[in-house]
Amino acid sequence: MAKRGGFPKGMGMPGGGNMNQLMKQAQKMQKQMEDTTKELEETTYEATAGGGVVKVVVSGKKEVVAVSLEEEVVDPDDIEMLEDLIVAATNEALRKMEDDSQAKMGKITGGMGGGLPF
């Protein structure tokens, strides 16, 4: 005859505290992720290109917040090079931001890919 009750001990039913502990850990992880996300959003990341003649600063919100150009890089006869340098510096700053974000979130999630295992 089948046993009534369907859930083994530890699956959230009376007598099993494992589910409560798992929920507490999930809530703690969620709070840490929220705090880290806020910290990352308030951080800026800087990169240069062309030996420092172009500098781009991005925020943790993936927004460009500043572009600085040295006078010698502004050549009306070679606008394409300046455009390329701005793109390169912007992409590098965004890579730095993404690397920092992944490293900090990875410490919280323990390599679970940023999500919970369920």
0.75 surpassed by pTM:
no
pLDDT in 10s for each residue of the chain, 118 residues: 555 655 555 454 555 578 889 898 889 899 999 999 999 999 999 999 999 999 999 999 999 999 999 999 999 999 999 999 999 999 999 999 999 999 998 888 776 654 544 4
Q: Is 94 exposed, middle or buried (0-12, 13-18, 19+ CB in 10 A)?
A: middle
Please tell me the predicted confidence (pLDDT) of residue 118: 44
Please tell me the predicted confidence (pLDDT) of residue 110: 78
Q: How far apart are CA 84 and CA 60, in angstroms?
A: 23
